[in-house]
Amino acid sequence: MYGAAQVELSTGAIRLTQRTHEDALLDGALIDRCRNRDAEAFGLLVDRYQTRVFGYVRRMVGSAEDAEDIAQEVFVRAFQNIGRFDGRASLTTWLFKIASNLCIDRSRRKGRRPEEAPLASVEDPESGAKASDPRWDPETHLVALEMEDAVEGAISQLSDKLRSVLLLHDIEEMSYDEIASALKIPVGTVKSRLFLARGHLQEALRGFIEAGA
């Protein structure tokens, strides 16, 4: 289900969370062990990031089966090339760089732009509204579903370039610099693509938003 974060996405609001120092230290320790081909350490690394990587890929390619294959390939390549990770970018940025490249390659091989997957399908199932919750209201739930469909439809019309920036910034909460590093584009390009993506979304959702005003 879409919550406040998704509604904020359609209105252009921004909410960023910075990687903590403890996260960086743990990543660094795991990377050092992975460089020595420590399978247990790599398993811990996969546990830390597989949900986010799969979620991003699922939204990009549409197919859960394709997403599983690509997400697995992301970590295979990460393990194979862990010696090349120099730490100048965060581990998150590096993993999303691999994921983005694989998604684009899959799209090109199929000769089409990846379809947009429902965001609800990759969220934590425990995060949604429960029927037993006394605060749950059918009418409110219906409106949320309609908003979800409208946002999904709008995102599905975006190009790969605009969609990847939008998802990485507003859903994965990566900074401009991290996105620029992951996609190998200037920070200015990240900002312009995000501006264009939000503009397309706002225009596509204008009728829905005005109807609910």
pLDDT tens per residue, range 27-78: 888 888 888 888 888 889 999 999 999 988 888 887 788 889 999 999 999 9
Residue 56 CA to residue 171 CA, distance in Å, equals 9
- 3-state per-residue secondary structure call for the chain: CCCHHHHHHHHCCCCCCCCCHHHHHHHHHHHHHHHCCCHHHHHHHHHHHHHHHHHHHHHHHCCHHHHHHHHHHHHHHHHHCHHHCCCCCCHHHHHHHHHHHHHHHHHHHHCCCCCCCCHHHHCCHHHCCCCCCCCCCHHHHHHHHHHHHHHHHHHHCCCHHHHHHHHHHHHCCCCHHHHHHHHCCCHHHHHHHHHHHHHHHHHHCHHHHHHHC
User: In this predicted structure, what is the pLDDT of residue 154?
Assistant: 77
Copy the structure tokens of residue 92: 């998150």
Contact 179, 168 (CB under 8 A): yes
pLDDT band of residue 210 (cuts 50, 70, 90) is: low
- Choose between 3 and 39: higher pLDDT: 39
| Nearest Cα residue to 116 out of 73, 180, 159 | 159
Residue 174 CA to residue 93 CA, distance in Å, equals 8
pLDDT band of residue 189 (cuts 50, 70, 90) is: very high
pLDDT tens per residue, range 92-122: 889 999 999 998 888 777 765 544 444 444 4
Copy the structure tokens of residue 162: 């605009």
- Choose between 62 and 143: higher pLDDT: 62
Residue 180 CA to residue 45 CA, distance in Å, equals 23
Contact 168, 56 (CB under 8 A): yes
User: In this predicted structure, what is the pLDDT of residue 191?
Assistant: 93
Domains of the chain, with CATH numbers? 4-124+136-212 (1.10.1740.10)
List Cα–Cα distances, 117 to 20, 56, 107, 205, in angstroms.
30, 10, 14, 18
Residue 93 CA to residue 86 CA, distance in Å, equals 12
